[in-house]
């Protein structure tokens, strides 16, 4: 069963630069309709943001595209002071390396207990002090087909980034990959897997 997806290999479209959030999302709307109509099936998206937090722009982008059609979403900090969006057919890949973190999480993601399970598992997986620099992070969610997986992003990232980087935020996550696998056997629970490397 594939847990991850390839990043889109298509030429990205240049969007309005943040921090003008509404102008940015308007640019997404204008390009997304054209792109989504010519791609059948699920898609992977990659957002490169010139300034600000990439993940804070990724969620509204995926919501606009339709989270059910997006099993893979990537974000990274752009070198240039501009933002781009790439959309391509979702291509799964079976990782050849074991995840740094794998935890079966029960309960509702809105509850503190949910984040505690992920944070505790991350601390056990690290077995050392927080990473002092920036990091690349991939997180895979195995969820039921009835679940809106984007609701899991923030609690999972906060719970992982705390032990990994020393603070529950994404300021030092420079490359992020979020992946969804459908597994109706888990019901309302979630299997969270994560891979991280210094960046």
Render each residue's pLDDT in the chain as its tens digit; 199 residues. 668 999 998 888 777 555 456 666 666 666 666 666 677 789 999 988 876 666 677 888 888 888 999 999 999 877 766 778 888 899 999 777 899 999 999 999 999 999 999 999 999 999 788 888 888 999 999 999 999 999 999 999 999 999 999 876 667 888 999 999 999 999 999 999 999 998 7
- List C-alpha distances in Å: 22 to 52, 60, 68, 71: 14, 11, 23, 25
Structural domains of the chain in order of their starting residue, each with its CATH number:
4-93 (3.30.1330), 101-198 (3.30.1330.20)
| DSSP helix/strand/coil, 110 | coil
Long-range contacts from 23-29, C-beta under 8 angstroms, 24+ separation: 24/57, 24/83, 25/60, 25/61, 25/64, 28/60, 28/61, 28/64, 28/85, 29/64
| DSSP helix/strand/coil, 87 | strand
d(CA 55, CA 171): 10
């Amino acid at each position: 069963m594939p847990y991850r997806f390839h990043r889109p290999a298509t030429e990205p479209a240049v969007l309005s630069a943040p921090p003008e959030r509404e102008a940015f999302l308007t640019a997404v709307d204008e390009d997304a309709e054209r792109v989504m109509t010519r791609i059948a099936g699920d898609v992977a998206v990659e957002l490169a943001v010139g300034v600000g937090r990439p993940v804070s722009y990724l969620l509204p982008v995926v919501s606009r595209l339709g989270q059910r059609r997006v099993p893979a979403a990537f974000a990274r900090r752009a070198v240039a002071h501009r933002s781009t969006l790439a959309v391509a057919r979702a291509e799964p890949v079976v990782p050849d390396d074991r995840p740094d973190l794998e935890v079966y999480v029960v309960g509702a993601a809105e509850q503190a207990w949910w984040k505690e399970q992920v944070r505790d598992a991350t601390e056990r997986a690290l077995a050392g002090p927080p990473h002092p620099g920036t990091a690349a992070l991939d997180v895979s969610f195995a969820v039921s087909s009835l679940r809106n997986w984007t609701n899991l992003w923030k609690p999972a990232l906060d719970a992982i980034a705390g032990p990994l980087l020393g603070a529950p935020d994404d300021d030092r996550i420079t490359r992020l990959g979020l992946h969804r696998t459908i597994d109706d056997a888990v019901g309302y629970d979630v299997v969270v897997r994560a891979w991280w490397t210094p960046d």
